[in-house]
Amino acid sequence: MRRYVMCAGNSEPRLKLNFVGLAEIADLLGVSKQVVANWRSRKEDFPSPRQTLRSGPIWALDDIVAWAESEGIDVHLDTVAREENDDIARPAVIAAVMNMKGGVGKSTVSANVGWYAAVMRNLRVLLVDLDPQFNLSQYVLGAERYQKLLESGEPRIDALFPAPGFSPTPIRKLIRKVQEWDDGSCLHLVPASLELAWNMRLATERAHVLRDALENVRDDYDLILIDCAPTESILSTATYLASDWIVVPVKPEYLSAIGVPLLLKSLKAFGETHSNEKVPDVAGILFNDVRDRVEHNRARRFVRDQAELNDLPIFTHALSHSDSYPAGARQGKPIFWTDNARTVRKDELGEVGKEFLSRIGL
């Protein structure tokens, strides 16, 4: 369902979602779902879904309205407006931040986009750290709070992949509340630790566990972001099974850039070995930690060539290098709450955050 949310510095309501499912189209046009299904199969000009999520296909509201008007079908926008006050929410979109090369800023992107979505867009956000190096966990919690988590012995994501003979820990017991607000928006985290690397050696047949766990909490969130390990392993298979979208951060350096074709090869192999599963779509390649250097410019050209060859989108906006990102990681803060961060860098994150959410249908 669509909901209006209030954004900082803006007194006007802004749409959180501009997409509709089959049932919403039926309500919007005053017909049954079967009629909509018949239109889809019999009318060649019926709009194509913008995306097919695990919860079903979704259409752009504007596409449906334009088509209905061209067919002379009455559009009941008041029906959609009434649903804006419903407590029922669409299941979360699940997006993975992934590259087959480490050191590209996956955790920086995941943490800051997650904070942006929760703070600036009033979304319910769950961050999932699926990297044994646990950089996202440290970034979001801050070094001191993360150390306390380790000392407490509280379970982390490795408990989803226990040794054979043991049952996975329910994911609700792994979720840590980072921050919550009165309007229901929140930032939660499933943290990781080095133990994940050990457990994965024993969990070769358990790639489905992550998908199954996230499905259990999908209705509790608007956005689930997975920060992935930079290697081909059962963790990448688990990510593909669970995700709707892949976002590929690339630091414009040669070694970082070669992670893109490796990721595409990995996705292709997944599709071939899991022919009954939907392969996640690549929402875009996001340039991160960009500097005005000859090497960076050359690497960007290489990535753009790869993207063109494989018909992959590239984000219009990028994140520049800033010392405020590691400073924020130490404090457990996004860049827009980090001391001495330049306004231009905060605004840059805002543009990337807006484009990121738009590309995955939020």
The DSSP-derived string for 218-235 is: GGG-SEEEEEEPSSSSHH
Divide the 362 residues of the chain into consecutive groups of 10 and give the mean pLDDT of each group.
34 50 84 77 84 77 89 75 50 91 86 94 94 89 87 87 78 94 91 74 70 92 92 85 93 72 86 89 90 72 79 90 89 89 92 93 86
Q: What is the pLDDT of residue 331?
A: 86
Q: What is the pLDDT of residue 6?
A: 32
CA distance 315 to 292: 18
For 66-95, give one letter per residue: b (16+ CB within 10 A) or e: ebbeeeebebeeeebeebeeeeebbbbbbb
Q: What is the pLDDT of residue 153?
A: 85
Q: What is the pLDDT of residue 79?
A: 61
Alpha-carbon Rg for the chain in angstroms: 21
- Please provide the DSSP assignment of 97-114 as one string: E--SSSSS-HHHHHHHHH
- Which residue type occupies 253? E
Q: What is the pLDDT of residue 198?
A: 67
- Please provide the DSSP assignment of 232-252 as one string: SSHHHHHHHHH-SEEEEEE-S
Q: What is the pLDDT of residue 242?
A: 93
CA 174 to chain centre: 19
Paired with 5 in beta bridges are 14
Stated pTM of the model: 0.74
The two tokens of residue 1 are 């369902």
Q: What is the pLDDT of residue 11?
A: 35
Is 255 within 8 Å of 104 (Cβ atoms)?
Answer: no
